[in-house]
Chains A and B, each alone.
Chain A
Amino acid sequence: MVDVLVIGGGNAALCAALMAREAGASVLLLESAPREWRGGNSQHTRNLRCMHDGPQDVLVDAYPEEEYWQDLLKVTGGITNEHLARLTIRASSTCRPWMRKHGVRFQPPLSGALHVARTNAFFMGGGKALVNAYYRSAEALGVRILYETPVDAIELEGGRFVAARSGSRRFEAHACVLAAGGFESNREWLREAWGQNERGEWPADNFLIRGTRFNNGNLLKFMIDAGADRIGDPTQAHMVAIDARAPLYDGGICTRIDCVSLGVVVNRDAQRFYDEGEDFWPKRYAIWGRLVAQQPGQIAYSIIDAKAVGRFMPPVFPGEKADSLPELARKLGLPEAGFVDTITAYNAACSTGTFDHTTLDDCHTAHLAPPKTHWARPIDTAPFYGYALRPGVTFTYLGLKVNDKAQVHFDGRPSDNLFVAGEMMAGNVLGKGYTAGVGMSIGTAFGRIAGTQAAQAARATSRQSGVQYAEA
């Protein structure tokens, strides 16, 4: 029997496996995906939000605990747990030397991402490079890894972990860490969670999954059904407006459409529905998935003119292009007259200001509902471009309730030897909203805690069973 069983194969699982192994435990890691798809959503990540009190290698200036906490408080609208959030924040300031030891390399922010030079440390090569480094380190340290081993059931005994089952295979361990991700790729579950709207639509049927195709939430569902305490709203998720032509799964970063704040966004009826210039795009991109999800048909269209070209990250697919607004409406399948009216009204409402995309400038609309409060310039210069947008789910926030030892709880009582990390518990800190890099901060902090705790629990358990053996 191994000391610690880790279920999952992404960042949190690997952090747990490495910490448990370093603490002297024997470790077996079960990844549901085949090797080439290993790493869950971590393969799509690119940075870690880090607290720091002064410049630190790739990080400039300072990002103190209080500012980080305030940012988190703001994006979650208070749906967070201050104790666990602060623990995550503090852990983010000390974990990088350990990450480096296991082969993770950091780099200055990527072009087009300078706004997070102060707050986020970028992984050289992105999340898949990080995942590769952790797997190499884990193998070198003697962690056993099994791919294509999805766990479908856990044997519990009064809140204690006994064994995990994958089909006919059974894996016993002294302690276990659950880090198998959310349920974002389970489209049935998403459909059920989002339900039917007032228009009679099932909104989730029109969602695309930016993240891994392997997070079907089976283990999460099993644990909730088995009586583990849950946390979070199943409709809350990291949701971005992405290109409607993106693949159904694993679209990742490149399907993002970053020109929203440079133009206007209309729905299927050619109506605007939200202030496109509310704040800098990096602070707003994560709300647009939900905004689009609330529109009829769960689709929207980002419209720009020639002035915006070259001012945003190039999208992976070229947009629809037209020399006139009516032509663009026809190409996008929007009602022509309504579309022209919307743009005309918007253009007329744009005040003359000094356009500056690097500041919250004074280009805004007057007497327009909804307003566009910054970067509002008339859409009047051909060619015009349009990009169809769909909600893209990266990961869901419904999870298992934990304490600061990452313990799974049953009826408010923490389990002695069952721990949870990563997306399966991110909802404790992140009730809603998102800020770049915080998912990896949570996964790293709680993965490491869970691994350490599991190794300790395994030691205690084997000591106990050793005593029992001696007495018998």
Chain B
Amino acid sequence: MQKLEALVREAHEDAALLPTTSGRARVIPIARMTDNETEVARQMQICNACRYCEGFCAVFPAMTRRLEFGKADVHYLANLCHNCGACYHSCQYAPPHEFAVNVPKAMAKVRLDTYSTYAWPAPAGALYKRNGLTVALALAASLALFLMLSVMVNGGLVAAPSGGNFYAVFPHNQLAAMFGAVFGFAVLALGIGVTRFWRDVDAGTATAPAVAEATRNVLTLTYLDGGHGDGCNESDDGFTLARRRFHHATFYGFMLCFAATSVATLYHYVLGLEAPYPFFSVPVLLGTAGGIGLLIGPAGLLWLNLRRNPSHGDTAQRPMDRGFIVLLLLISITGLALLAWRDTASMALLLSLHLGVVMALFATLPYGKFAHGVYRSASLLKAAIEKRHMKGPNLGAD
């Protein structure tokens, strides 16, 4: 294998001097590949000579459009990978074979490098490396902040019922300013990161059909269906749609909660209708439905994550995965609890807990598992673009 690695390294040195398959000269400076990146390139060289997994997902068709795998290619392919596990279980070269191919694992390691490399501001990239700790600290700090604020404003955590009026505990404008600032920062940080990524992978110009295809692939999680519709792998080589369904519950639950907040904001500023809203109002119904999705989805994902085959992905990242899942779960639990007991003396305490968890989520959005959605969407868009204009090597009738 040492020989193979040496050959692969040599191939990359050669490749840097050769025109790319798209015909343009490669002007990307020859950045030294990290060990994780070299490993993906080595495995892709083997996969490109085999191609049995082409039907599973978007990674392998994108691979066949290339003969060499440089730094940018590796990051693009790694983020295209959904870590479904199908190629690992199907691989005739998986360990104990001496080729030791485990694409999901190699890709997962590079993904973490993508997130930290492109993180803005750059030093914050280190937060990905110990993400379980990052999330825990953010959560503790946010909770402490809101509990302290509550005590300061109300003189105690257990106050008299205030008819579910949250703004009696925290003034509306204060909340809007705090969450607006943190959320705005998250959008900015992730936006800068993915823009740099987009530039480096040389994605080209998005056409409407490409955008439509990528959007469909993101919203339906096309590549968690295994290519045959049976789903992806969890604990063994059997296929299941569980992850896709729980992810849908999580994602759409999150979006419904987001919609609830947006509608409430419109009510507040445009219609002049101030919270609390009755249960059968649009914001509360949206929030309740979303909360239920965010309860079922993350609970299911956590259950799957705990029994996931250890060969899938990078086990060192499980604290990051679980930290994010647990935050989402805590949001739905505290949110639904707040709805249930908003007219009781516990309201101020529940509200502080809920807002603390939401704040922790917002604060860690740019430096945690959430980043996967942003970089994967960008990669799916690139795949949809290049599929339309980039012809692979001409293999003739063979």
Contacts and interface: CB of A to CB of B under 8 A. Distances in A.
Residue with the highest number of chain B CB atoms closer than 10 Å, among A36, A309, A316, A321: A316
Interface in A75-102: none
Contact of B49 (A107, A115, A253): A253
Interface stretch (B53-61, B165-173, B196-204, B291-299): B53-61
Interface in A408-440: none
A187 interface: no
Contacts of A321: 14
Interface string B1-39: 001100110110010000001000000000000000000
A253 B50 contact: yes
Contact of B396 (A37, A312, A316, A318): A312
A314 B52 contact: no
22 contacts: A36-B95, A43-B92, A44-B92, A105-B55, A105-B228, A107-B228, A110-B55, A111-B61, A113-B51, A115-B397, A122-B55, A125-B56, A126-B52, A128-B90, A128-B91, A254-B49, A254-B93, A312-B395, A314-B48, A314-B67, A314-B393, A357-B397
A357 B92 contact: no
A136 B55 contact: no
A111 B54 contact: yes
B97 interface: yes
B90 A126 contact: yes
Contacts of B392: 111
Contacts of B237: 132, 136
Contacts of B90: 125-126, 128-129, 132
Contacts of A245: 3-4
A358 interface: yes
A22 interface: no
B164 to A, nearest CB: 52
Interface in A14-47: 36-37, 43-44, 46
Given A43-B92, A111-B392, A252-B50, A125 B230 contact: no
B398 A282 contact: yes
A310 B67 contact: yes
B234 to A, nearest CB: 13
A108 B238 CA distance: 22
B87 interface: yes
Given A282-B398, A314-B393, A127 B49 contact: no
B86 interface: yes
B51 A112 contact: yes
Contact of A280 (B53, B92, B398): B398
Contacts of B55: 105, 107-108, 110, 122, 124-125
A35 B19 CA distance: 44
A111 B11 CA distance: 23
Query: How many residues of A sit at the interface, in one of the four size bands?
Result: 35 or more
A124 B228 contact: yes
B92 A250 contact: yes
Given A124-B228, A247-B98, A46 B52 contact: yes
A74 interface: no
A317 interface: yes
Contacts of A261: 398
Which 10 A-B residue pairings sit nearest by Cβ, starting from the closest? A126-B52, A357-B396, A125-B90, A254-B49, A310-B393, A107-B55, A129-B90, A105-B228, A316-B49, A132-B237
A419 to B, nearest CB: 28
A311 B396 contact: yes
> Looking at chain B, what size class is its interface with the partner chain?
35 or more
A312 B10 contact: no
Interface in A281-311: 281-282, 309-311
Interface string A121-147: 011111111001000100000000000
A128 B228 CA distance: 16
Interface in B55-90: 55-56, 61, 64, 67, 86-87, 89-90
Q: Which of B14, B52, B56, B227 has the most C-beta atoms of chain A within 10 angstroms of its own C-beta?
A: B52
Interface in A313-336: 313-318, 321
A258 interface: yes
A311 B393 contact: yes
B215 to A, nearest CB: 25
B98 A358 contact: no
Given A136-B238, A310-B21, A314-B67, A126 B395 contact: no
Given A111-B54, A111-B392, A254-B46, A132 B89 contact: yes
Contacts of A36: 95-96
Contacts of A114: 397
A245 B21 CA distance: 26
Contact of A258 (B45, B91, B398): B398
Contacts of B49: 253-256, 313-316
B174 interface: no
A357 B46 CA distance: 24
Interface string B147-165: 0000000000000000000
Contact of B230 (A105, A110, A112, A314): A105
B205 interface: no
A120 to B, nearest CB: 13
Given A107-B227, A125-B90, A317 B4 contact: yes
Contact of A312 (B50, B95, B98, B398): B398
Contacts of A127: 52, 92
Given A125-B55, A132-B237, A280 B50 contact: no
A111 B395 contact: yes
A253 B52 CA distance: 9
Contacts of B394: 310-311, 357
Nearest to A254: B49
Contacts of B227: 105, 107, 124
Contacts of A46: 52
For B10, B64, B398, which residue has the most chain A Cβ atoms within 10 angstroms? B398
